[in-house]
Amino acid sequence: MAKTNGTGGAASSVTAALMLHGRVAIVTGGAGGIGSAVSKHLASLGARVAVAYFGDPAPAKEVVSGINATHGADPPQAIAVEADVNDAAQVKALFDAAAAAFGGEVHILVTTAAVLDFSYPPLAETSEASYDAMFGANTRGTFLCCREAANRLARDGRGRIVTFSSSGVGSLRPGYAAYAASKAAVEVMTKILARELRGTGITANVVAPGSTATPMFYNGKSPEEAERYIAEAPLGRLGMPEDIAPLVGFLASDAGGWVNAQVLRCNGGTI
């Protein structure tokens, strides 16, 4: 058995298990509040990242530019790809673009793209359009991405699917009925997918953040409402995107390879 000096060898082994060199990741919503932190963190671990966005390209280009400035642009460490996750053809094109840009194989899918009705209507006042928008992006979009990943990810023990739910599934907060329902469906779908992928070496897990200081959290809330969320938090603050990204990195790495079919509520103890 190899000997180590003090704890240095063990620390090196842990660090190596977390690294993602040689792996290609797709992050949907990769320029959003949490998504941008995830994209940057995966790149810092060595992954080459396709930052998927829909609509305004400027935020995605900014994230990609920052990654490439830090980690190298020749060849690029990151690219921006526009894709509506609610469209199967565009999801396929997203995977094709990542594979073509980075060498033919995709290893990691992270689905942070999400829609929330910022008027926070009670169920009795939720419109069909609002319901359809949330289930379209949050549930159908995740389904289409996961379906593509199930058929496309590397089967060499490095394939990882990390979907996103919300701790709101458990908090039962009024005004979030359709949104929480769309995320609860993601949790069930992902756990079943993990079992269906038996024998492929691909894991599938869910990250469920709590209240996180992003534009999506603050949209539609008064300062007083935001303060109430902080007052309820056991750690006395909102989460930060940088609190969420390392968990995704762990699940995407060899270190997280024995974690499968789990929902991890990354919320600082908030119910």
User: What single-letter DSSP state applies at residue 264?
Assistant: E
Rounded Cα distance between 30 and 15, Å, is 24
Q: Which amino acid is at 253?
A: S
- Nearest Cα residue to 160 out of 171, 170, 173, 149: 149
Task: State in Å, rounded, how far the first CA of the chain is from the last one.
Answer: 45
Whether residue 80 contacts residue 53, with contact meaning beta carbons closer than 8 Å, is answered with yes
Q: Is residue 216 a contact partner of residue 223, using CB atoms and an 8 Å limit?
A: no
The residue to which tokens 């949209």 are assigned: 219
- 53 is a catalytic site residue: no
Cα–Cα distances in Å, from 4 out to 7, 12, 13, 19? 7, 10, 11, 20
CB atoms within 10 A of CB 15: 11
Residue among 53, 120, 176, 179 flagged as catalytic: 179
Q: Please identify every residue annotated as catalytic.
A: 179
